[in-house]
């Protein structure tokens, strides 16, 4: 049995990252045609010839599937890796999906971002927000977990500021908010299950090397 006979499972977070990631796998000859069908409701896609399959999950669940070994490889944003804090190997930076984790709010909230104010911070990323305010800024804040449309919070008075992803900046701009501080720059990453890295090392290394080569050539 060759190492190429081992089935590899790849977890992709649904959405923009998945599309770009699948294009990469297409380019290295491991893609699956059907995954590009916009009407499909299937969640798992197998390339039988190459012994590789892909599944689409919610982004924040990708590190969970990879930690437990349901997926050998995952493609996920650095924001999710930091927030989920799972036991997985972060192997390399794909260089796309670039954005920034920021503290944002109305310009008037800028003066509240020093350690003396107890402010409320709305976010989908409580771990990242807590780490930033408590460990980096040494400011005690109240963190309010939301599940989306975070920009609403300071507008309707739920919080003074938000901790959220900024990509183009249009959502902030259209809602009269500005970036007040940058927490960390982000991009898409390849993550690998720790056991798979040992047990399927030859296959995984081959896939990773091909992906890295493809990324370098695209630059």
Name 129's Cβ contacts closer than 8 Å, sequence gap at least 6. 121, 123, 141, 143, 163
d(CA 2, CA 202) in angstroms, rounded, equals 10
Helices (H), 11-61: 16-27
- Give the range of 71-79, 85-93, 148-156, 181-189 binding ligand PRP by CB under 6 A: 148-156
Which one of residues 8, 21, 166, 180 is an interface residue with ligand PRP (CB under 6 A)?
Answer: 166
Site string for ligand PRP, 59-88 (x = CB under 6 A): ------------------------------
| Inter-residue contact 11 to 75 (CB < 8 Å) | yes
Q: In this structure, are strands 119-123 and 141-145 parallel, antiparallel, or unpaired?
A: parallel
Q: Tell me how many residues contact ligand PRP (CB under 6 A).
A: 13
Minimum distance between the CB of residue 172 and ligand PRP, rounded to whole angstroms?
6
Cross-sheet strand order for the sheet of 89-93: 44-47, 52-57, 8-13, 73-77, 188-192, 89-93
Minimum distance between the CB of residue 136 and ligand PRP, rounded to whole angstroms?
21
Asked if residue 175 binds ligand PRP (CB under 6 A), the reply is no
- Give the range of 25-33, 80-88, 166-174, 189-197 binding ligand PRP by CB under 6 A: 166-174
Asked if residue 116 binds ligand PRP (CB under 6 A), the reply is no
CB count, 10 Å around CB of 211?
22
Asked if residue 106 binds ligand PRP (CB under 6 A), the reply is no
Q: Which helix (H) or strand (E) holds 182?
A: strand 178-186
d(CA 191, CA 101) in angstroms, rounded, equals 20
Asked if residue 148 binds ligand PRP (CB under 6 A), the reply is yes
Residue nearest to ligand PRP (CB): 148
Asked if residue 171 binds ligand PRP (CB under 6 A), the reply is yes
| Inter-residue contact 123 to 129 (CB < 8 Å) | yes
Which one of residues 165, 177, 186, 204 is an interface residue with ligand PRP (CB under 6 A)?
Answer: 165
Cβ-based nearer residue to ligand PRP, 53 or 98: 98
Minimum distance between the CB of residue 122 and ligand PRP, rounded to whole angstroms?
11
Asked if residue 164 binds ligand PRP (CB under 6 A), the reply is yes
- Residue 149: name the closest of 167, 160, 162 by CA: 162
Which one of residues 2, 108, 111, 170 is an interface residue with ligand PRP (CB under 6 A)?
Answer: 170
Interface contacts to ligand PRP, rule CB under 6 A = 124, 148-151, 164-171
């Amino acid at each position: 049995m060759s190492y190429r006979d081992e089935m590899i499972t790849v977890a992709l977070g649904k959405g923009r990252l998945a599309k770009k990631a699948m294009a990469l796998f297409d380019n290295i000859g491991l893609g699956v045609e059907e995954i590009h069908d916009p009407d499909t409701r299937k969640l798992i896609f197998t390339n039988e010839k190459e012994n590789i399959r892909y599944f689409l999950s919610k982004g924040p669940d990708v590190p969970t599937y990879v930690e437990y070994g349901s997926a050998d490889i995952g493609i996920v944003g650095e924001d999710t890796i930091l927030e989920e804090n799972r036991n997985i190997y972060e192997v390399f930076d794909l260089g796309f999906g670039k954005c920034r984790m920021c503290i944002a709010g109305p310009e008037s909230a800028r003066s509240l971002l020093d350690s003396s104010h107890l402010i409320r911070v709305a976010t989908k990323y409580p771990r990242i927000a807590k780490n930033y305010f408590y460990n980096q800024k040494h400011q005690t804040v109240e963190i309010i977990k939301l599940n989306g449309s975070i920009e609403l919070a300071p507008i309707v008075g739920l919080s003074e500021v938000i901790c959220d992803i900024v990509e183009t900046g249009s959502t902030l701009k259209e809602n009269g908010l500005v970036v007040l501080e940058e927490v960390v720059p982000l991009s898409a990453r390849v993550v690998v299950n720790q056991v798979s890295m040992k047990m399927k090392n030859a296959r995984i290394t081959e896939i990773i090397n091909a992906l890295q080569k493809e990324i370098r050539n695209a630059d």
